[in-house]
């Protein structure tokens, strides 16, 4: 419960720092396309860090289930795979890292579907 609130909070701080690094540290050093890729990573990082916070708070309110626990881990995996691969691709200019990104996207999708299944089963 509190673990996902903590994980979400740490990821929010990290996402904001990485977004600022993109805006101030990378601007003028990478192409506009690469900066756009970085910003996409930061955008999804922030959204899913909020998702981790939401899951943690939902678990605290309801007692949680394995559905929410799995959803939280999938969102975290998605942050690493989706956003992380985009960050790494921009920093290294290794375009092949982009092949990892869709795996993170699928993790996000399945995680949110599990939250919906939890809501259908357990919320009034």
Residue linked to tokens 């299944």: 117
Residue 64 pLDDT = 86
Predicted local confidence at residue 1, as pLDDT: 74
Q: Return the beta strands (E) in the chain as ranges.
A: none
Identify the pLDDT of residue 78.
99
pLDDT at 25: 97
Contacts of 37 (CB under 8 A, 6+ apart): 86, 89, 90
Q: Each residue's pLDDT tens digit in the chain (124 positions)?
A: 799 999 999 999 999 999 999 999 998 999 999 999 999 999 999 999 999 999 999 999 999 899 999 999 999 999 999 999 999 999 999 999 999 999 999 999 999 999 999 999 999 8
Residue 43: CB atoms within 10 A of its CB come to: 14
Q: Which pLDDT score is estimated for 61?
A: 95
The Cα–Cα gap between 18 and 112 comes to 24
56 in Cβ contact with 7 (< 8 Å) = yes
DSSP for 73-106, please give it.
Answer: HHHHHHIIIIIHHHHHHHHH--GGGGGTHHHHHH
Residue whose structure tokens are 């975290």:
76
């Amino acid at each position: 419960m509190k673990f996902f609130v903590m994980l979400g909070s740490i990821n929010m701080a990290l996402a904001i720092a990485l977004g600022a690094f993109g805006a101030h540290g990378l601007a003028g050093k990478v192409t506009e396309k690469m900066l756009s890729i970085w910003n996409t990573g930061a955008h999804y990082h922030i959204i899913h860090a909020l998702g981790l916070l939401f899951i943690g708070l939902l678990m605290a309110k309801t007692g949680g289930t394995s559905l929410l626990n799995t959803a939280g881990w999938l969102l975290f995996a998605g942050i690493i795979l989706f956003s992380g691969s985009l960050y790494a691709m921009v920093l290294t200019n290794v375009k092949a890292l982009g092949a990892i990104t869709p795996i993170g996207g699928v993790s996000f999708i399945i995680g949110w579907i599990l939250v919906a299944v939890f809501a259908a089963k357990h919320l009034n």
